[in-house]
Amino acid sequence: VRFAVVGAGSWGTAFARLVSQRGHSVHLWARRPALAEQIAANRENTAYLPGVILPEDLKITTDLSVVLKADVIVIAVPSKAMRSTVARMIELGKISAPIISLAKGLDRQQKLRMSELIETTTGSHQVFALSGPCHAEEVGRDSPTAVVLAGTNELWGRRLQQELATPRFRVYLSDDLVGVELCATIKNIIAIATGASDGLGYGDNTRAALITRGLAEMTRFGRVFGVQSKTLFGLSGLGDLVATCTSPHSRNRAVGERLGRGESLDCILADMTMVAEGIYAAQIIHELAKDREIDMPISNAVYRLLYEQTEAAHLVDEMMSRSPKSEGS
């Protein structure tokens, strides 16, 4: 099977390597020629995935028309670049191959999920989202990983599951595309909150409480949008939430940690080379929750931390001193 992976960030690169080692023909598309040249020359993406050697037969390209010829197209760009990337692709011709989105966020312009955005712009009905606890740094080192592939085309789903799975990369199927994409978006916000707690010097108890109450508000949000329980408590919900909130690899957790130490968002953005999706997700989810009147105290606190310059310590004290309750209420 011929795969094309669009986007040569850390996850796109690790995914291209995975699929290539699985025995498929793979083109990895990079937007910037300098990056493509560097990867092709070194067989390593030193900027985004240092230390991971890429297979010799993995092809690097900057030509999007090559992507359109693939049997399966994987898009691994940040969510804010999805709209423009897909627009460039459809300018080059009709897309008939199934598409897998690896992006974990929502479209800012219309608050669309990534698969919605891809479906409405390409007209494709074979769009999937792949999510779960899958830090690129670890998939690139073949650490055992389990993910969810979500989509509504069951036939292609089974086919892709077979083509992607390896003894170190387990793929579960799901029909809950909405759930998988919303969970992937919200978990990054909660990761900023746990990062802030780490930055304040709080410990594992606080972090575990934030993850638990974070899942509770992800559940409240999810119920409104029809998210299934198996997704909330599965790999792309709870699983990715736990990985992102506890991993040193998580960019979103790292952003929170710096905020917790008192740095400003401007200062953090100024020296980040990679995108922390949670920064944008916090704004979009804040608006959606407000519209639908969904109680999300942690996400709301992250929004205020990012956009209203509220101090992290103040937010934690505020959350801890809410009136005592019964669990589950």
What are the catalytic residues?
187
- Beta-carbon contacts of residue 314 (< 8 Å; ≥ 6 apart): none
Between the CA of residue 162 and those of 210, 278, 317, what are the distances in Å? 36, 31, 49
Shortest Å distance, C-beta 162 to a copy of itself: 8
- Asked if 215 is part of the footprint of a copy of itself (rule: CB under 8 A), the reply reads yes
- Residue 95 or 242: the one with the smaller Cβ distance to a copy of itself is 242
Q: Residue 101 class from Cβ within 10 Å (0-12 exposed, 13-18 middle, 19+ buried)? A: buried
- Asked if 170 is part of the footprint of a copy of itself (rule: CB under 8 A), the reply reads yes
Residue 229 φ/ψ region, left for φ over 0, alpha for ψ in the -120 to 50 degree band, beta for the rest: alpha
Rounded distance between C-alpha atoms, residue 315 and residue 297, angstroms: 10
HSE of 166, CA atoms in CB hemisphere, 13 A: 16
- Applying CB under 8 A, among 33, 109, 167, 293 the residue interacting with a copy of itself is 167
- Applying CB under 8 A, among 16, 75, 95, 134 the residue interacting with a copy of itself is 134
- Beta-carbon contacts of residue 127 (< 8 Å; ≥ 6 apart): 98, 99, 100, 101, 115, 118, 119, 151, 177
- Applying CB under 8 A, among 38, 228, 283, 310 the residue interacting with a copy of itself is 228
- Residue 85 or 174: the one with the smaller Cβ distance to a copy of itself is 174
- Applying CB under 8 A, among 21, 25, 246, 310 the residue interacting with a copy of itself is 246
- Asked if 327 is part of the footprint of a copy of itself (rule: CB under 8 A), the reply reads yes
- Residue 266 or 322: the one with the smaller Cβ distance to a copy of itself is 322
- Applying CB under 8 A, among 4, 35, 148, 259 the residue interacting with a copy of itself is 148
Rounded distance between C-alpha atoms, residue 194 and residue 208, angstroms: 9
Contact residues: a copy of itself, CB under 8 A: 132-135, 137-139, 141, 143-146, 148, 161-162, 165, 167-168, 170-174, 197, 202-209, 211-213, 215-216, 219, 228-231, 233-235, 238-240, 242-243, 246-249, 316-317, 320-321, 324-328
